[in-house]
Amino acid sequence: MPEAEVVYSDVKLARGKKRANEAVTTSTDSTYSEIKILKTQPSTAELSEDPQQAVVRKGSKVTSERVVLVVLSVLLAAALCFTTFEIIKTNKKVKYLEDDKMKCDNNLTETLSKIKPCSTVQPTCPVPKVIDDPCYKCEEGWEQHGGKCYYFSTSKSSWEQSRDECRAKRGELVKIDSIEEQRFLERKLRDVMTDYEDKFWIGLTDSAVEGRWVWVDRSPLHQSLTFWSNNEPDNWNGTHEEHPDGEDCARMGEKGGADDLKCWFDAFCSKPHRSICEKAGVRGKFKKVCD
């Protein structure tokens, strides 16, 4: 402060004079004391401050705090309003979704009521005799056995005509490859034969070379898999003029049954008989059948 500096200069001057005159010492000390008092006393500006201005400054501080409180209150109110708005908006969405779900449920119930009941149907397959035995299915009118499908005709035709009919059905006159297959066919024919002569053509012939019997696939007949009845084949030719080539085609069936499975007979190929067709089975699949 300016006043303090002036006094301080006076002090230095007074202290310089002390060496010349001890009497002045008392005066100098007194002056230093006055300086200390001056420095500790409030400044002239502070003393001259108007009390009203102090009140104004204090009021300004209070007003700032109120402004802050008001701003915070406004922000809190805005946040509450926004939250309330979002809650109302969410509730409306929930209500809309509930109504929409109810409509969907009603439509589903109505649609299900119009759908006809369905059931799972298994294709014609025997109970498997071995584990993992594949299941095959056959077309309507064909009977499944051992992975093959068999057709037992109801009409009578010559051997050649019967073979053509089997081919038209995408099959062939039956070729017997095992004792099991012979057993199945022999038992089946017991049920479908109407009389002793109601026999069935099979795919075996010796029309190319007499006595050399071959299947329709040109494979030779194995002697270990022959099921000729007693004294068969006999190649009976009746009257030589009518059947000069003799009996060159094979037929099978024994109405009363053949316990030894031997029920093959040779016959004139032109004689009308029923026949047995066969073809490979198709792997069966489950399917849904609706009423």
Whether residue 260 sits in one domain with residue 146: yes
Residue 39: the pLDDT is 46
**49 in helix, strand or coil?**
coil
Q: Average model confidence (pLDDT) for the chain?
A: 77
pLDDT at 19 over 80: no
Judge contact between 146 and 181, C-beta under 8 A: yes
Whether residue 190 sits in one domain with residue 67: no
Judge contact between 277 and 165, C-beta under 8 A: yes
DSSP secondary structure code for residue 25 in this structure: H
Least confident among 20-34, 92-106, 109-123, 137-151: 20-34
Whether residue 180 sits in one domain with residue 91: no
Whether residue 192 sits in one domain with residue 63: no
Residues 270, 193: Cα–Cα separation, whole Å: 20
Residue 65: the pLDDT is 82
Residue range 97-116, pLDDT digits in tens: 888 888 888 888 777 776 65
Q: Beta strands 200-205 and 172-173: pairing type?
A: unpaired
Residue range 208-256, pLDDT digits in tens: 999 999 999 999 999 999 999 999 998 887 655 566 678 999 999 998 8
Q: Beta strands 282-283 and 264-267: pairing type?
A: unpaired
Whether residue 42 sits in one domain with residue 59: no
pLDDT at 82 over 50: yes
Whether residue 231 sits in one domain with residue 147: yes
Residue range 259-286, pLDDT digits in tens: 899 999 999 999 999 999 999 998 765 4
Whether residue 90 sits in one domain with residue 57: yes
Whether residue 273 sits in one domain with residue 152: yes
User: Residue 185: how many CB atoms within 10 A of its CB?
Assistant: 23
Whether residue 151 sits in one domain with residue 79: no
Least confident among 72-81, 129-138, 145-154, 160-169: 129-138
Whether residue 160 sits in one domain with residue 87: no
Q: Which domain holds residue 10?
A: 2-47
pLDDT at 58 over 90: no
Whether 160 maps to a domain, the answer reads yes
Whether 40 maps to a domain, the answer reads yes
Whether residue 262 sits in one domain with residue 146: yes
With a CB cutoff of 8 Å and minimum separation 6, the contacts of 220 are: 212, 213, 214
Distances (CA, A) of 272 to 94, 171, 204, 240, 249: 81, 20, 16, 19, 12
Residue 5: the pLDDT is 46
Higher pLDDT, 1 or 271: 271
- 């299915």: which residue's tokens? 137
Residue 105: the pLDDT is 83
H or E, element range at 48:
none
pLDDT at 151 over 80: yes
